Amino acid sequence: MELFTNQVLAGIATGAIYACMALAVVMIYQAIDHLNFAQGEMAMFSTFISWQLMQWGVPYWAAFVITLALSFVGGIAIERILFKPLAKAPVLTNVAGFIALFAIINSSAGLIWDFTIKQYPTPFGSAPFLGSQLISTHQAGMIGVTLLLLVGLYFFFQYTRIGLAMRAAASLPESARLVGINTSWMIALGWGMAAAIGSIAGMLIAPVVFLEPNMMGGVLIYGFAAAVLGGLSSPFGAVVGGFLVGIFENLAGTYIPGVGNELKLPIALALIISVLVVKPAGLFGRHIVKRV
Amino acid sequence: MSAAEEVVAEGHQAVEAVPKRAMTLGTGTSLAVLAVLLVAPVFVKNFIIFQMTMLLIYGLAVLALNILTGGSGQFSLGQSAFYAVGAYTTAVLMEHFNVNYALTLPIAGVVCFAFGFLFGQPALRLSGVYLALATFALATAMPQLLKLNFLEHWTGGVQGLVVTKPDAPFGLPISQDMWLYYFTLVVTIAIYIFSVNLLRSRSGRAFMAIRDNEIAASAMGVDVALYKTLAFGVSAAITGIAGSLGAIAVQFVAPDSYTITLAISLFLGMVVGGVGWLPGSIVGAAFIIFVPNIAEGISKGLSGAVFGVLLFLVIYLVPHGARQIAIASKSGS
């Protein structure tokens, strides 16, 4: 039983990483209705920017805020320059665009900062949290930040004018335009926010997985899986999905013989698919009913 | 509901309807392309012949994805798994059982058909991004499964298997590479003709009806579940045959040759060639084989970025892929 509790705790700790990423995924999905394959790379690039700032002597929190702002602007710029011209193109062409963006960012980061693994500082310290060996203060801090973000997003979308406008633009663009919402800019704003949330995720994850251009590969897959499991229309679902994926993964690695590290990912994905077969819209997703 | 949301809900409008007549090339153009493919190897070096063989093989794999996505409207990021199953079937049969290489192709096709058909069953419940995730899971799992310990005797584990390259039969005085090229060409043409006819047949029309409107299709008596899984099966079978040919051409199979990267390349090939336009498959295959090399030639350190920029250029100029050029030139003349 103790082993079980410990593994669940460890799962929650890794789950926090996935939850963070899943939140960014859902954010952009709400705005543009696509899964952005380049999301992880955008987050990685932001993290590198903050690392560079710190190398130049900027203190952590100042670098954090500057990076957040830069990522927000960068996200908007990417949408305006690269994806707005593709707005009328088929969906699959847009997906190809994400893959292209992925390649560009990954390779540029590799050229600017090279592929060596770098240490990344944590603002929370890495002592054991409340005497538990399995969760460090950093991981606890990460869970805290994720939950804070979630609450913040909830209020933003529920109670602010601009949040409401974004939701309107995503769910009924025609009607939103008729009541005077600039839907095109709402999409850009969605990209900006997704990039900013992604950068937070990146900066929180970097101390755990270390900083390098490929650091987001695995994390993004789990983030997608978590977002899909939770239901792509629900930020709350994304966070729950993130923790569940973390726990699944750890328990599968511990209790199923012969699994080891290699097979953890396929098993986690297989479990998620089994859930989706039963609940096709995800655990907390709104089932979209279509009028024929 | 936004148009994009409908896509997710339905998963099918993601693929636009391609008029049936626009699915193939004219007879004249087809013959010209065929003539080039037939004659070209005589004039070039062995390495280029090898690349042309790979072009045909990837062309087949892209074609298979095109039938699945362009034909039946189902999205797959798991094609690399089917490709791997085909490649391993051939390698194991050839190296452990001494089966003739040509005979392994139909066996690989049947094995992959069964595999794809079975995979299509649970996938029936999923559409759009959810189906993408499921197929993606298959693609990430496949290399790990091939490395499993108890399969190592057959698959060679991480090391993989070496495949012997066949000689030209009947004492034909041509090199192994050239023989393999013509062998691949014959298989490719046969499968291309099969695919074109498949999409023109009753089954093909059923695929397209499902793609365009699943509810309407089922109301008209199309067995949606059967045809969706059938599309998966056919696509997997063709991908598997491509995989077998790939194994023979490369003379080597290893788990890490069949990662998700391969599935993503095939997907890009489909987009560049034009979704649902079968002749575009070869254009797409050319893109995914040659453009990374060109990118590397332009800049070693930034090859990924150059590739991305080239890809962006292509999708800006022709968002509907090579099909757009073909249709434009047709209506222009």
Answer yes or no: do A272 and B308 touch at CB < 8 A: no
Answer yes or no: do A266 and B316 touch at CB < 8 A: no
Interface-testing mutation among A30, A32, A33, A92, with chain B (most B C-beta atoms within 10 A): A92
Mean pLDDT over A62-88 rounds to 90
Give the closest of A258, A266, A280 to B130, CB-based: A280
Tokens 């059982």 appear where? B97
pLDDT, averaged across chain B: 82
Of the candidates A243, A50, A230, the one whose C-alpha atom is nearest the C-alpha of residue A146 is A243
Domain ranges, residue B42: 26-259
Confirm whether B83 is domain-assigned.
Answer: yes
CA torsion, ordered B100, B102, B108, B109, to nearest 10 deg = -150
Give the closest of A89, A104, A290 to B6, CB-based: A290
pLDDT in tens, A148-182: 888 888 888 889 988 888 888 887 888 888 988 88
Answer yes or no: do B304 and A106 touch at CB < 8 A: yes
Mean pLDDT over B247-262 rounds to 87
Give the closest of A108, A228, A280 to B125, CB-based: A280
Q: Is the pLDDT of residue B11 over 70?
A: no
Give the closest of B5, B126, B304 to A288, CB-based: B5
3-state secondary structure of A50: helix
Give the pLDDT score at B16: 64
Answer yes or no: do A88 and B319 touch at CB < 8 A: yes
Of the candidates A161, A195, A239, the one whose C-alpha atom is nearest the C-alpha of residue A70 is A195
Give the closest of B1, B215, B303 to A171, CB-based: B1
- The answer to whether the beta carbons of residues B160 and B255 sit under 8 Å apart is yes
Answer yes or no: do B304 and A96 touch at CB < 8 A: no
Q: Is the pLDDT of residue A189 over 80?
A: yes
How does residue A261 score in pLDDT terms, banded at 50, 70 and 90?
low
Answer yes or no: do A224 and B215 touch at CB < 8 A: no
CA atoms within 13 Å, Cβ hemisphere of A48: 23
3-state helix, strand, coil split of chain B in percent (to 5) is 80, 0, 20
- Domains of chain A (ranges; CATH) run 2-118+131-278 (1.10.3470)
Q: Is the pLDDT of residue B198 over 70?
A: yes
Interface-testing mutation among A79, A273, A275, A278, with chain B (most B C-beta atoms within 10 A): A273
- The answer to whether the beta carbons of residues B35 and B220 sit under 8 Å apart is no
pLDDT above 90: percentage of residues in chain B:
17
Mean pLDDT over B107-117 rounds to 92
Size of interface A-B (CB pairs under 8 A): 155
- The answer to whether the beta carbons of residues A237 and A214 sit under 8 Å apart is no
Confirm whether B291 is domain-assigned.
Answer: no
Total domains in the fold of chain B: 1
Mean pLDDT over B196-207 rounds to 89
Confirm whether B302 is domain-assigned.
Answer: no
Q: Is the pLDDT of residue B27 over 70?
A: yes
How does residue A4 score in pLDDT terms, banded at 50, 70 and 90?
confident
Answer yes or no: do B316 and A85 touch at CB < 8 A: yes
For the four alpha carbons of B43, B48, B50 and B55, in that order, the dihedral sign comes to negative
Which span out of A270-274, B18-22, B220-224 was modeled with the highest average pLDDT?
B220-224
Give the pLDDT score at B59: 92
CA distance B329 to chain A (A): 20
Give the pLDDT score at A130: 66
CA distance B206 to chain A (A): 19
Give the pLDDT score at B8: 38
Give the closest of B2, B134, B140 to A265, CB-based: B140
Give the pLDDT score at B99: 83
pLDDT in tens, A102-155: 889 988 888 888 888 888 888 777 777 666 666 778 888 888 888 888 888 888
Give the pLDDT score at A145: 87
Among chain A residues, the shortest Cα distance to B11 is held by A91
Answer yes or no: do A276 and B133 touch at CB < 8 A: yes
> Which residues in chain A are contacts of B307 at CB distance < 8 A?
100, 103, 107
Answer yes or no: do A170 and B2 touch at CB < 8 A: yes
Q: Is the pLDDT of residue B167 over 50?
A: yes
Q: Is the pLDDT of residue A264 over 60?
A: yes
Confirm whether B243 is domain-assigned.
Answer: yes
Give the closest of B1, B130, B133 to A172, CB-based: B1
DSSP B121-151: HHHTT--THHHHHHHHHHHHHHHHHHT-GGG
Answer yes or no: do B312 and A221 touch at CB < 8 A: no
CA distance A210 to chain B (A): 22
**H or E element, residue A136:** strand A132-136
pLDDT in tens, B140-165: 888 888 877 677 777 777 777 888 77
pLDDT in tens, A194-225: 899 889 888 888 888 788 888 887 788 888 88
Give the closest of A82, A266, A292 to B137, CB-based: A266
> Higher-confidence residue: B59 or A235?
B59
- The answer to whether the beta carbons of residues A211 and A120 sit under 8 Å apart is yes
Among chain A residues, the shortest Cα distance to B147 is held by A262
Confirm whether B136 is domain-assigned.
Answer: yes
Give the closest of A92, A106, A280 to B14, CB-based: A92
Give the pLDDT score at B9: 37
Answer yes or no: do A86 and B319 touch at CB < 8 A: yes
Work out the number of other CB atoms within 10 angstroms of the CB of residue A54: 17
User: What does the block give as tokens for A126?
Assistant: 């890495």
> Which residues in chain B are contacts of A280 at CB distance < 8 A?
125-127, 130
What are the strands, taking DSSP E only, across chain B?
161-162, 252-253
Among chain A residues, the shortest Cα distance to B268 is held by A96
> Which residues in chain A are contacts of B321 at CB distance < 8 A?
93
Interface-testing mutation among A30, A93, A220, A229, with chain B (most B C-beta atoms within 10 A): A93
Confirm whether B255 is domain-assigned.
Answer: yes
Which span out of A29-33, B102-106, B162-166, B320-324 was modeled with the highest average pLDDT?
B102-106
Residue B221 gets the label, from left (phi > 0), alpha (psi -120 to 50) or beta, of left
> Which residues in chain A are contacts of B9 at CB distance < 8 A?
288, 290
CA atoms within 13 Å, Cβ hemisphere of B118: 7
CA distance B209 to chain A (A): 15
Give the pLDDT score at A57: 87
Q: Is the pLDDT of residue B5 over 70?
A: no
Q: Is the pLDDT of residue A51 over 70?
A: yes
Interface-testing mutation among A30, A81, A91, A292, with chain B (most B C-beta atoms within 10 A): A91
Question: Looking at residue B17, what DSSP letter applies?
Answer: P
> Higher-confidence residue: A96 or A132?
A96
How does residue B240 score in pLDDT terms, banded at 50, 70 and 90?
very high
Q: Is the pLDDT of residue B4 over 70?
A: no
How does residue B3 score in pLDDT terms, banded at 50, 70 and 90?
very low
CA distance A83 to chain B (A): 10
